[in-house]
Every structure is written in structure tokens, then in C-alpha cells.
Amino acid sequence: MISQTFTILNPTGFHVRPTKTFVQTASSFPCKVSVLNKGKKVNGKSSLSMLTLGIAMNEEVTLEIDGEQEEQALEALGQLLTAIHE
């Protein structure tokens, strides 16, 4: 298992559109993806679970990834967490 913490840079936080992209990307990897924020840990492959976190700009989010292709998943998902969307 690997983990890394990222800071959300999107001015509107992690709302529906970036969450959808994140979940689609996470689901393309065979590994387990967990997202931790404000003491809550959720399945990173579930849109509903991700939206319950209410992630805002400048909040720190930790990814925990376990299984096949975990390094590739961490890199791809980390980029999505730190991307600035319109």
C-alpha cells in the first residue's frame, strides 16, 4: 500500500464534475483506492462517497492505494486532485 497527501487547488473545491472524472479514473485501475479527508475515509471509486467528503479548496486529501498498478493510480489521481478546473 502507498499513500500521499495532496492539497486541493480548484477554487470551487472537489464538486460533481471533478469527482466524476476522479471516480472514472480510479475505476480504471484494478487496485483499491481510498480517500481520507477530515477524519473520514471513503471508497475513491464511489461518486456518492466522494461527494460526502465536501472537499473544499486548500484542504488536504490523502490517497491510500493498494494493489496492482498502485503507483500509476497514485500519479494519475494525484494530478486530478491538484488540477484547477473551471
- Residues belonging to the active site: 15
Do residues 79 and 63 lie in contact, with contact meaning Cβ atoms separated by under 8 Å? no
Q: Which helix (H) or strand (E) holds 2?
A: strand 2-7
- Most distant CA pair in the chain, distance: 33
> At a CB cut-off of 8 Å and minimum separation 6, what does 15 contact?
none
